Amino acid sequence: MDKELEGKVSLVTGASRGLGKAIALKLASMGSKVAVNYVASDDQANKVAKEIEALGSETMLLKANVADSGAVKAMVREVVDKWGKIDILVNNAGITRDNLLLRMSDEAWDDVINTHLRGAYLCTKFALRYMTAQSWGRIINISSLAGMMGNAGQANYSAAKAGLIAFTKSIAREVGYLNVTVNAIAPGFIVTDMTDKLPQETRDMILSRIPLKRFGQPEDVAELVAFLVSEKASYITAQAIAIDGGVI
């Protein structure tokens, strides 16, 4: 098994399930120590921790709301206190509060913007202090196809995910000279709890737009993260890379 990330320290937000879990496990399989952030399910987070340990890697669980500045500052400090540094940050934490704009509440707008965009801002700001000090870092922001194309009923989610792409490009230009790369990944339709709940008619309609005729797997996204945090991708920064089966 490739241990390219041996000695590295990673923090993955929203890592108790779905994409975050797959990313955390992939980084652990490559030898990285992995801090697992989550906000709700202790049981799911503990299962992820056990899987990481079964891969022979170290882990720690960090229950924190990424939209809370004090909580994020304490979370990053806890990682550094335990492992001495932070090399890789994956801003994956996210929620949906879907509705048509005319029916959308202020709370639904604010909750989604705060989790996705403010969360990435806070985690990146506090982690960057350590990455820039050591002149090495990798930041991956999980955006979405919705952030590139928009999606009816998801004005809040689409705006947040589009904001992540512009955020990615801006921060990449600020810290590139310090050997810190910042990239975004925009997944299309990936097999998660969210897609599992879709009616069959909706699934068929979506599949008709995907040339590869299947939904992606969380592991597909994790493999792209693995590449972008590796030395193979050391000259790639400020990019938003779609992983969507060629959706049209």
Residues 119-133, mean pLDDT to the nearest whole number: 98
3-state secondary structure of 148: helix
pTM metric for this prediction: 0.97
- Contact call for residues 182 and 123 (beta carbons, < 8 A): no
Place of tokens 């000695």: 7
215 in Cβ contact with 198 (< 8 Å)? no
Is residue 177 annotated as part of the catalytic site, yes or no?
A: no
**115 band by pLDDT with thresholds 50, 70 and 90:** very high
Whether the Cβ atoms of residue 25 and residue 1 lie closer than 8 Å to each other: no
Tell me the average pLDDT across 169-197: 94
Residues 31 and 140: their CA atoms lie apart, in Å, by 18
What's the pLDDT band for 1 if we cut at 50, 70, 90? low
Range 37-49 average pLDDT: 97
Whether residue 51 is predicted with pLDDT greater than 70 in this model: the reply is yes
Domains of the chain: 9-242 (3.40.50.720)
Instruction: Single out the catalytic residue among 38, 121, 130, 157.
Output: 157
Where does the chain have alpha helices with state H?
18-29, 42-54, 69-83, 106-113, 119-134, 145-149, 155-175, 193-196, 200-207, 218-229
What's the chain's average pLDDT? 96
Residue of 8, 126, 20, 139 whose CA lies nearest to 75: 126
Does 86 score more than 80 pLDDT?
A: yes
The mean pLDDT of 194-219, rounded to a whole number, is: 91
Share of the chain above pLDDT 90, in %: 95
